[in-house]
Structure 1
Amino acid sequence: MRAQSLLLLVALLALGSQLPAALGRKKGEKSGGCPPDDGPCLLSVPDQCVDDSQCPSRMKCCHQACFRQCVRKVSVKKGSCPKDPLHCLSPVQHLCSKDSDCRGLSRCCLGACGRDCRNPVGQFRLRIHSSEPQVGVPSLQEDGMMAGLGPCHLDVALFARGNSTF
């Protein structure tokens, strides 16, 4: 019995060490994201950290105004910001500062004229469910669920440009 417990403990420790890689993170990298780095680089300062493991629990090692430092991590939504091929002729104006400033699935993205809320580009897994089949057009809810269809699962790739809506 003791040998089985020891073997189970070793297996759990081995699996636990692989968890960051399975989640797409490097070892020592914390969940969450870095706040936008829009500040100007005014002087050269040595990095204060190399990776997240050198920062307190609710902070990440992020590049901010010329050097890496420990800053409060922010929530990051799925998908990536669309590329903005335009060049801005007016002064830069930020309408958001982080993803949580944007409603639903929208992300706070840096465009040619500043940050604004945009629909991300990327794949989302949609689960379709309903207790009874219904007639009509299904609607995408903010939690990524589609209402109005019978019980089934479906993978769909959603793509958006600029500020278009799904």
Structure 2
Amino acid sequence: MKLLVFIILTITGISVFAMDRMGVCPQSSGLAGICIFDPNVNCLEDSECAAGEKCCSEGCNKVCKRALGVQDHAGACPAPSGLVGICVFIPGYNCLSDSECRADQKCCSEGCGRVCKTAIR
């Protein structure tokens, strides 16, 4: 019986291990297009999206969109230092959203990337 349930879940694409991220999806734009799954554009679950995003319905596919209802950290970003470097995303150093930073920090622009900086209050 367990094997049958596993096969059904696998065939239908339902993942019992995937955790949904906090927040809700914004409303679909209502645009229709050709229904071809492109792994460079479309997603199947939240874990495929950047921090602060959810895998949301858009037409006949799903795409990563910024989640609604997720609080940004208080304060504002300080001005960028003006330094320019090699544009490489380094996990643990660079960030994509405030949720990756400490509570007193914001994810701010710095050169060609974003880093956690102490927020101006």
Structure having the higher Rg: 1
TM-score, with structure 2 as normaliser: 0.48
Select the structure with the greater relative contact order (CA < 8 A; seq sep ≥ 6).
Answer: 2
Q: Answer 1 or 2: which has greater strand percent.
A: 1
TM-score, with structure 1 as normaliser: 0.37
